[in-house]
Amino acid sequence: MAAEAQAKATLRADQPGVTISPNIYGQFAEHLGHCIYGGIWVGENSTIPNTRGVRNDVLGALKKLKVPFVRWPGGCFADEYHWKDGIGPRELRPRMINTHWGGVVEDNSFGTHEFLDFCELLGTKPYVSANVGSGTVQEMMEWVEYMTSDADSPMANLRRKNGRDKAWDVPFIGVGNESWGCGGNMRAEYYADQYRKYATYVKNYQPGKSIARIAGGPNASDYHWTEVLMREARNHMQGLSLHYYTLPTGSWSGSKGVGSGFPEADWFATIDRTLFMEELVQKHSAIMDKYDPQKKIPLVVDEWGTWYDVEPGTNPGFLRQAATMRDAMVAAINLNIFHRHAERVTMTAIAQMVNVLQAMIFTEGEKMALTTTYHVFEMYTVHQGATYLPLDIKGPAYVYGDQSVPAVYGTASRDAEGRIHVSLTNVNPHEAVKISVALQGVKAGAVTGRVLTGPSMDSGNTIAQPNLVVPQAFTDAVLKDGLLEVVLPSKSVVALELK
């Protein structure tokens, strides 16, 4: 048998960084396909077990992820959404066409009350994306008053009439979405002015609380957008968003690459393209540093993840795609990048929560399956709120044809109880890698771990086979002479705890 490839690393626990904000683990839920309808919301009268209309199985699974916030209602949907259509008796709510996502009729049965109730059930914070593209300043201002004012005021009283006495806590408001595209096709200069105007009227009605106003940020590498927004509007924002999707082909026209049964070329390209997030974060952060050297304004990566061709036979507008070990790699690599930039990146949201794009969960009728991405998020919960510890890895390359990327990626943190968590990923789909980690500033007597891997690159869970890839106990890690020695199986994510 061939010897494993070797990697070396140093864990610099004696040089701790900042706290990894739990908000790095946020999620995005749009009125798109079966994310909301069928995925989260089934209504009180459904035969699917639910709590006030929210599916119990999905709720239970999400609770284990400690989801810090949920971004809603879009996405592109947000800039066509008129919130007053989604309040009051459901049977009286007007309908609309969801022009972006399949042209289906939206009956508005899941609206403000349902979303904020879902957040309360899940124990998460709401991040509401408000309509700039086809909305008005008044509409946005009234929505914020409706949700967050406890005064004897028109919108607060309308909320009371609709059954909710107490104001909700809504700590994040997005001011438009992708205003460079589906949110209005604006130029950065124009949006910066629009942003300033809209953001002025996002008022804080609750003394002692705050609302972070998040400006619509750049599309991937549009650095001009960041420059203009920071130059013109930084004093009015508490966050600037960034959207970047990983497409195997890198092309929005034609095939993006299939989600399952893909060739190794697509595996490699997906890893390669997702690594671009590092450059994006670095370059956008560098621009932000010029205007905000103290890093007070977060870079909010509120849409990220894989985007493949839809599952054969599904509605192309519903963005339902397969989930495999490749998605596990992408999830881990991006979370590692966000940890590394935890000073600037304090909030992100993967797209999307259920049944859409790089989903956590699939549902079909009453059935549910947890994806490989779900399992990585679950394995990474230990890093939420922990102290970042630098982990430098020097390792073999994963070579494909005449191209290569590093084979091994990782991140580490120390939690409030002093336990150190090291998460390692080997993207080589064929070979194991043995990694020796020198432990600086670590006192540990024992290591335990779990591993997520599968027999092939496109191993994953489906509704028909929901438990093909689940975390397993991992025993290939030992502590020896100040070193942590681990054999990482091919295409694996390994989560270790040192105590």
Annotated catalytic sites, by residue? 178, 303
Helix, strand, coil percentages for the chain (3-state, nearest 5) = 30, 25, 45
State the minimum distance, in angstroms, from the CB of residue 219 to ligand AHR.
Answer: 8
Query: In terms of Cα–Cα distance, which of 78, 36, 99 is closest to 243?
Result: 78
Binding mask 365-404 for ligand AHR (x = CB under 6 A): ----------------------------------------
The closest of 306, 496, 498 to 410, measured between CA atoms, is 496
Torsion of CA 217, 220, 223, 226, to 10 degrees: 10
Residue range at the interface with ligand AHR (CB under 6 A); choices 74-82, 165-173, 185-193, 374-382: 74-82
- What is the spatial distance between Cα 224 and Cα 287, in angstroms, rounded to a whole number? 9
C-alpha 470/C-alpha 454 separation (Å) is: 9
Beta bridge partners, 125, equal: 69
Q: Which residues in 23-42 contact ligand AHR (CB under 6 A)? A: 30
- CA 345 to chain CA centroid, Å, is 12
Cα dihedral value 127, 128, 129, 135, nearest 10: -160
Which lies closer to ligand AHR via its Cβ, residue 183 or residue 429?
Answer: 183
Strand order across the beta sheet in which 5-12 lies? 391-394, 5-12, 433-440, 483-488, 477-480
Query: By rule CB under 6 A, what string of x and - marks binding of each residue 324-363 to ligand AHR?
Result: ---------------------------xx----x------
Per DSSP, the three-state class of 235 is helix
Residues for the chain: how many in total?
A: 499
- Is position 75 an interface residue for ligand AHR (rule: CB under 6 A)? yes
Is residue 142 at the binding interface for ligand AHR, with CB under 6 A as the rule? no
Min dist CB 176 to ligand AHR, Å, is 10
CB of 85 to ligand AHR, least distance (A): 18
| Amino acid identity, position 52 | R
Work out whether strand 172-175 and strand 420-426 pair parallel, antiparallel, or are unpaired.
unpaired
Helix ranges restricted to H, 126-166: 137-148, 154-161
Minimum CB distance to ligand AHR, residue 457 (Å): 24
Q: Are strands 492-498 and 447-453 parallel, antiparallel or unpaired?
A: antiparallel
Three-class secondary structure of residue 137 per DSSP: helix
Would you tell me how many other CB atoms lie within 10 Å of the CB of residue 457? 24
Q: Which stretch binds ligand AHR (CB under 6 A): 59-67, 68-76, 118-126, 433-441?
A: 68-76
74 touching ligand AHR, by CB under 6 A: yes
Q: Can you tell me which of 50, 112, 177, 179 binds ligand AHR, judged by CB under 6 A?
A: 177
**Nearest to ligand AHR of 129, 387 (CB atom):** 129
Asked if residues 434 and 5 have their Cβ atoms less than 8 Å apart, the reply is yes
- The CA distances from residue 382 to 302, 322, 385, 473, in Å, are 21, 27, 8, 16
The pattern of x and - marking residues 83 through 122 that bind ligand AHR according to CB under 6 A reads ----------------------------------------
User: Of 460-499, which residues contact ligand AHR (CB under 6 A)?
Assistant: none
The stretch near ligand AHR (CB under 6 A) out of 4-12, 73-81, 387-395, 466-474 is 73-81
The tokens describing 353, both together, are: 């929560």
Is residue 429 a contact point for ligand AHR (CB under 6 A)? Answer: no
Q: Is 80 in the site for ligand AHR (CB under 6 A)?
A: no
Of residues 282 through 321, those in contact with ligand AHR by CB under 6 A are 303
Among 178, 266, 272, 292, binds ligand AHR (CB under 6 A): 178
Measure the N-to-C terminal CA separation of the chain; round to a whole number of Å.
Answer: 33
Nearer to ligand AHR, 74 or 395 (CB): 74
> Nearer Cβ to ligand AHR, position 33 or 410?
33
Nearer to ligand AHR, 62 or 356 (CB): 356
The residues binding ligand AHR (CB under 6 A) are 30, 74-76, 177-178, 303, 351-352, 357
